[in-house]
Amino acid sequence: MKRVFLLIATNLAVVLVLSIAWNVLDSLFGISRILVGMGLPAHFGYVAIMALALGFGGAFISLWMSKWMAKRSMGVQLIEKPATAQEQWLLETVQKQSGMVGINMPEVGIFHSPEPNAFATGARKNDALVAVSQGLLDQMTRDEVEAVLGHEISHIANGDMVTQTLLQGVLNTFVIFIARVVGYLVDSFLSRGEENNEGGVGIGYFVTSIIMDILLGFLASLIVMRFSRWREFHADEGGAHLAGKQKMIAALKRLQKAETGHDMPGELAAFGIAGNGMGEGLKRLLLSHPPLEERIAALQAKPDNAFAF
């Protein structure tokens, strides 16, 4: 659960920083007065434009920083000149699979963790990163590693990073807009009868907006996690196409035996190959990955010829 809350906190932090920046600019340049002068409603036009800018701004800043942050937060060592036969095989496998799905070869790296895990990230399909843990290389056979690489390459080819960013942007926009509309309504109710010719707001607006940001942000995260679980099934199918159904099932079973938590920070939480455990009730709704047994069962239910490339 720690990494899920880190993911939620990252998005909320970006939106909060951008909200502060917007308020500073509005104070300096009178943006809201300009919008009113253009004929927009006194508050709601400003709020809508602000919500759109901040909602997508926060999501896309996270996306564009994702590869840079991944390298530093996970200590990824890029394989530029392979020093071992294993590193050479990793590069050749990623190159072959990326060619099969029609994308440029991503950067390939290794991060030092005893737990078996891997992730893919990047703002564009043709400028991505695939990284595997040393624990994954130590504990899996080459067939299983090949399937894991296929899973991550499928994430890139499917455009999962961009799709999740767009979804997050839309949800952020609605969260910001609705929170501030409710804030205005509550503040208007609390200050009814008072003259306010400047169109300003009181403490009721700020307190209500913050509370609604938190509540609606949490609800939005449930939708994002639902999409994250859905795309894991598709990436598993992609791994089965690229490496073979049995190899993909074997890799998931290996992860099932080794599952101990697999903490990865921030945005990377939703892009690791390993699941984030079991959950019931609300905890299950916050999982970024379906339970491994469900992923295995989904692959087993499909005929072998469904994965012919």
Residues with active-site annotation:
152
User: For tokens 């009814």, what's the residue?
Assistant: 192
Q: At residue 204, what is the residue type?
A: G
User: DSSP code of 82?
Assistant: -
Task: Indicate the pairing of strand 127-133 with strand 107-111.
Answer: parallel
Task: Looking at 133-202, list the stretches that DSSP marks H as alpha helix, in order from N- to C-terminal side.
Answer: 134-139, 142-157, 160-190
Strand duo 127-133 + 118-124: pairing? antiparallel
Q: What is the distance between the alpha carbons of residues 107 and 88, in angstroms, rounded to a whole number?
A: 13
Helix axes 142-157, 160-190, angle to 10 degrees: 50
Tell me if 119 sits within 8 A of 131, measured CB to CB: yes
Residue 171: which of 54, 289, 286, 288 has the closest Cα? 54
- Beta strands per DSSP E along the chain: 77-78, 107-111, 118-124, 127-133
- Mark 242-280 as b/e (b = at least 16 C-beta within 10 Å): bbbbebbbbbbebbeebbeebebebbbbbbbbbbbbeee
Residue entry with tokens 């996970």: 74
* Beta carbons of 86 and 76 less than 8 angstroms apart: no
Instruction: Report the side by side order of strands in the sheet with 127-133.
Output: 77-78, 107-111, 127-133, 118-124
